[in-house]
């Protein structure tokens, strides 16, 4: 009996994706460009264009978690004497500003998006609902997650890992300004920091990598 014809269409860009769905983590600093603070419109445009190009070339679902360090950092507020939980909530609101800026730019370039937040603010975004987020991705939308996990004391890197598992993403891609990988220490303060091309979870624990 002859094998059935494969009706699956090749990716639009002609390249086979390694993963069908990825989580992109963009730090707040990535939105600021060289200044390190605030929003740089040209940088946001470039980020949006690259997301659209990757989605089109590889026909891959893209979800995005954004940080807010270009506007506010909870730990900075704590260092100035603020209550840490309150300072972290302020940081969550900063991530919403970045998410809305990215959404506006993506949609201006023709890419449908949805913003979902871990803190309810229905006038500007949907609440985070896992099944709804998956449905948006299946429909070809880029889903942007803001406000972290909705809890203080957690970084947006943690949010990216959590959402990636919830959405069954194949990989987390990190976009951090000024950092090109995982190091044994902070390369900006330790000249002996070593770049690790590959590291296991156990190695992180055994070497005490922060």
Listed by start position, the domains of the chain span 21-179, 181-210
* Among the four given CATH numbers 3.50.50.60, 3.40.1160.10, 3.90.78.10, 3.40.50.300, the one describing domain 21-179: 3.40.1160.10
Average pLDDT across the chain, whole number: 88
- The pLDDT score that the predictor gives to residue 10 is 44
Exposed, middle or buried: residue 199 (CB in 10 Å: 0-12, 13-18, 19+)? middle
Q: d(Cα 173, Cα 22) in Å, to the nearest integer?
A: 7
Would you say residue 1 has pLDDT above 50? no
Q: d(Cα 207, Cα 24) in Å, to the nearest integer?
A: 27
- The pLDDT score that the predictor gives to residue 117 is 98
Return the biggest CA–CA distance within the chain.
75
- The pLDDT score that the predictor gives to residue 208 is 86
* Confidence band, pLDDT 50/70/90 cuts, at residue 176: low
Kindly state the DSSP code that residue 34 receives in the 8-state scheme.
G
Q: Provide the terminal-to-terminal Cα distance of the chain, rounded to the nearest Å.
A: 58
Question: What is the strand order of the sheet 126-127 is part of?
Answer: 126-127, 113-117, 142-146, 61-66, 21-26, 171-175
What is the share, in percent, of the chain residues with pLDDT greater than 90? 64
* Confidence band, pLDDT 50/70/90 cuts, at residue 177: low
Q: How many other CB atoms are found less than 10 A from the CB of residue 32?
A: 20
Exposed, middle or buried: residue 54 (CB in 10 Å: 0-12, 13-18, 19+)? middle
- The pLDDT score that the predictor gives to residue 48 is 97
Kindly state the DSSP code that residue 169 receives in the 8-state scheme.
-
Extract the tokens encoding 130. 């896992």
Q: d(Cα 90, Cα 78) in Å, to the nearest integer?
A: 11
What is the share, in percent, of the chain residues with pLDDT greater than 70? 91
pTM of model > 0.85: no
């Amino acid at each position: 009996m002859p094998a059935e014809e494969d009706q699956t269409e090749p990716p639009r860009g002609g390249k086979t994706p390694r993963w069908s769905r990825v989580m992109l983590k963009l730090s707040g600093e990535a939105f600021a460009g060289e200044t390190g603070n605030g929003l740089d419109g040209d940088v946001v445009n470039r980020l949006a264009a690259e997301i659209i190009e990757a989605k089109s070339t590889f026909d891959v679902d893209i979800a995005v978690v954004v940080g807010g360090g270009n506007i506010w950092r909870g730990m900075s507020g704590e260092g100035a004497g603020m209550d840490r939980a309150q300072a972290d909530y302020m940081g969550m609101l900063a991530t919403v500003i970045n998410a809305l800026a990215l959404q506006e730019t993506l949609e201006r370039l023709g890419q449908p998006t949805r913003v979902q937040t871990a803190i309810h603010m229905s006038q500007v975004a949907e609440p985070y609902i896992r099944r709804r987020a998956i449905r948006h991705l299946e429909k070809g939308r880029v889903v942007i997650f803001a406000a972290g996990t909705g809890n203080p004391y957690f970084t947006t890197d943690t949010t990216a890992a959590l959402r990636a598992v919830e959405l069954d993403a194949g990989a987390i891609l990190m976009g951090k300004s000024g950092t090109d990988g995982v190091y044994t220490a902070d390369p900006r303060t330790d000249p002996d920091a070593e770049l690790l091309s590959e590291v296991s979870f156990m190695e992180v624990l055994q070497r005490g990598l922060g």
